[in-house]
Amino acid sequence: MQPRSTSGSRVADLLFVLALFSLFVIDSALVIIIGARSYTGALERMDAAFESRTALGYIAGKIRQNDVAHSLSLGEIEGRPALCLSQDHNGVVYTTYIYHWDGQLRELLVGPDSRAGVDAGQALIAVADLEMEALDNGLVRLVCTDGQGRRSQLLIAPRTAVGEDGP
């Protein structure tokens, strides 16, 4: 019997362990990269959904807050479609316009003699587009488009009738 070469066996064992360790490191790096991409994509989708849901929720809250007779209408401000909410304070009618302009949902409160333009409105949240429509059944349809082109819709039933001419 000849003695076994232990140095050749040790080198082969070492190479096997190094190859196995390298494979583990590469697999770990791939898992981390794939996970990071998935997380980034999910975060972007959540941000976009947050924008449109927040915008629609804000408008719904304003409608509910101002849901009194003859206070809600769909109109225009400088040719832009707007939700118009009128409030009577000591005989003076103030109108809150909620509209989309310059990539933002905006709100503007004006008095009867005010000549403020669309750029004077307070920017609330970034949205790509906002559509408003009074339906025949008394509902108001709001459709908000986020920065990635996804549309969210809200149907709201105000207790009062919705006018089409503005205040």
Strand, helix or coil at 94? strand
Contact 63, 86 (CB under 8 A): no
Work out the average pLDDT over 8-15.
86
| pLDDT tens digit sequence for 42-94 | 888 777 678 888 999 999 999 999 888 878 999 999 999 999 999 988 999 99
CA distance 55 to 52: 5
Whole domain around residue 83: which residue ranges? 1-167
Q: What is the DSSP letter of 139?
A: -
Give Cα 13 distance to the centre of its chain: 57
Contact 156, 140 (CB under 8 A): yes
Is it the case that residue 3 has pLDDT exceeding 60?
no
167: pLDDT confidence band, cut at 50, 70 and 90? Answer: very low
Contact 61, 53 (CB under 8 A): no
Mean residue pLDDT of the chain comes to 87
Tokens of 152: 């969210």
Q: Provide the residue type at 130 as one letter.
A: L
Q: How many domains does the chain have?
A: 1
Give the H or E element holding residue 167. none
Residue 147, CA distances (Å) to 88, 105, 127 in order: 36, 12, 6
Residue 126: φ, ψ to 5°: -75, 125
pTM given for the model:
0.71
Q: What is the DSSP letter of 38?
A: H
